[in-house]
Chain A
Amino acid sequence: MDNNKNNKTRALFRLLPIIAAGAGAGFINGLLGSGGGIVLIFAYSFIVKKKRSSKDNFATSLAVMTPVSAVSAIMYYLKAGADFSGAGKFCIAVVIGGIIGAYLADRIKSSTLTAVFAAVTCIAGLNMLFK
């Protein structure tokens, strides 16, 4: 009887970090319209015991954040009056861009580009903070 209780408590303790990570990612994604994937990838080292490849983690975070973003998008449309009228051209462009990007990924060294991108992100962040 006691053993059963202990097992259930242990299972709950293992579940809590996962729920916290998912809820945190969903919260940030809902608040900012982006960023949930980053939270998840950061949280993986704390919630997953077996070390998995970063590409698997990346794929999982995409898979998780897609329905979460869909729900948020619906809420934005219904409750926040968000205007999606321009979205179509963005969707087509991003799919084409993604195909090009995946093609380039094997051919261009990513660390320089990542550094440039991170620097641009910092500048953009400062811009939004102080505008």
Chain B
Amino acid sequence: MRPLRVALAKGRLAAEAVSLLTASGFELPGFGRGRSLVVPDSTGRLEVVLVKSDDIPVYVEKGAADLGVVGKDVLVEQEPRVYELLDLQFGRAQMCVAGTQAWDPSGRKVVVGSKYPRTARRHFTSLGIPSEVVELHGSVELAPLLGLVDVIVDIVETGATLRDNNLAVLETLFDVTARLVTNQVSLRTRQAEVAEVLSGMRSAVAKKESVS
């Protein structure tokens, strides 16, 4: 069988995930060198593949990857058919409603801009507030400033970007961190390997938490 395949999001969060894998006993000296998107570990037990964060759920769901490391924001938005195995406790952020302090929410339908349209709609529906969701793909903070939307739903890390654009957090929906996910068939047919990665990462996460 091919080595266990772990999908990681390209970018700075990949480095954190790799450091957890290294702390779990895998060796990925090839990571970060060259432009290959497939990085095997020296022991041959697994390979890391670099994938756009939004695509990790479908790779795992369809079995093209056995495991994935992906943010809770993406999981909540896409509701993929994957099992969440562990909270890796990095990549911390919060999903928030943000807008100009001046926005008055009473009565009217709210126009919401977001890269997470399903999350946004679900939130306002749960509050019983009629909403119109405008799907955006980047620089979401611009939308309320230019009058395209009333508020935005987006992940907030330090809050600096919001402040720089005179926006404030109006409400927090949930906390976001990176999660380890798998699909039902990998869980069952590669039980021992998945369990090995899971327990290694669980210990690595616990060790990091006890130090910080």
* Mutual binders A and B: no
User: Chain A interface (Cβ within 8 Å of chain B)?
Assistant: none
User: Chain B interface (Cβ within 8 Å of chain A)?
Assistant: none
